[in-house]
Amino acid sequence: MKYYAAIILFLLYGTASYSQDNKEIRVEYKMFCDTDVPLKYQTLLWIKNNTSIYKEKSSTTERWVEKPTQIEIDPQKLKSDYEPYIKTDNIKKEILFFDAIGKNIMVVKDIYIDLKWKISQESKKIAGYNCIKATTTYRGREWEAWFTPDVPLPFGSWKLHGLPGLILQASDSTNMYAFVAVKIENAKSDLFEKEFYSLMDVKSKKAIDIKKFVADQEEARENVDKMLTANNSDGVTLKVKREPRNGMELIYEWEE
């Protein structure tokens, strides 16, 4: 109990003193994806007051050569100019992000979930910062995160948020997805002054609800499967095997 009381006092004091500085933070992460073709790339996180904006730097994608793969691919084909953003607003309780169906990029309004973190007594240093371990479950994956009370801002890479300190490292329980902070600096960004939809070339300025977006995405995949069957010239009925989701989100709230 003394341990947690000390943490709470430290966080209350740290948050108050940090907010007085009113600094804007830029965090650079290295993202690791142990999928069919193991990849790593840079991601960026900007934080201002109660809002964060996260960006995947797909143009920095490269093979994660330390991990073996059965599929070899030209490294240049891994890079992309499609670099989507995620915006998390803790005051509005709102998460907006970009995603695509085919070539159409859309703004999607996600469900803001107050993640139920379990804070442990384990601690370690990451990049010179004192960090504490916490765990949570989010959309079918169990996550382990290390956050630092030294930077009392409740954000992290991707959609992970809600801890009393900046998340510097996290991974899911299968180690398929992981990220680690490599640089933290005070830096202002004009991203917060812009309308979110203006950050990418979107089909519509109006955000689509995530439940409808997922349904439309599934319908688009089914239509592709039907086209593959219809275009089969051998007269053989094709049975397209639909692979289960293996992204960072495996199941949504309304599917449970």
Helix H or strand E segment including 124: strand 118-126
| pLDDT value at 241 more than 70 | no
Tokens of 22: 């009113």
At 101-154, the pLDDT tens digits run 988 999 999 999 999 999 999 999 998 999 999 999 999 999 999 999 999 999
Q: Rounded distance, CA 170 to CA 167, Å? A: 7
In order of their start, the domains of the chain are 2-209 (2.50.20), 214-255 (no CATH)
| pLDDT value at 247 more than 60 | yes
At 8-42, the pLDDT tens digits run 333 433 333 344 355 799 999 999 999 888 999 99
Question: What's residue 227's pLDDT?
Answer: 72
Question: What's residue 166's pLDDT?
Answer: 98
Strands 129-138 and 94-101: unpaired
Scanning the structure block, which residue is given the tokens 């379990």? 118
Strands 104-110 and 208-209: parallel
The angle formed by the CA atoms of residues 72, 143 and 196, to the nearest 5 degrees, is 80
Q: Is the pTM of this model over 0.95?
A: no
Give the model's confidence band at 2: pLDDT under 50 very low, under 70 low, under 90 confident, else very high.
Answer: very low
Scanning the structure block, which residue is given the tokens 């430290």? 10
Q: Which residue has the higher pLDDT, 5 or 206?
A: 206
What is the arithmetic mean of pLDDT over 54-66?
93
Question: What's residue 20's pLDDT?
Answer: 35
What is the arithmetic mean of pLDDT over 173-189?
95
Give the model's confidence band at 49: pLDDT under 50 very low, under 70 low, under 90 confident, else very high.
Answer: very high
The angle formed by the CA atoms of residues 160, 161 and 165, to the nearest 5 degrees, is 120
DSSP string spanning 17-34?
HHHHHT--EEEEEEEEE-
Question: What's residue 168's pLDDT?
Answer: 98
What is the arithmetic mean of pLDDT over 76-100?
93
Tokens of 30: 């290295």
**What percent of the chain lies above the pLDDT cut of 90?**
69
Question: What's residue 73's pLDDT?
Answer: 79
Q: Which residue has the higher pLDDT, 77 or 39?
A: 39
CB contact set of 230 (below 8 Å; sequence gap of 6+): none
Q: Which residue has the higher pLDDT, 174 or 6?
A: 174
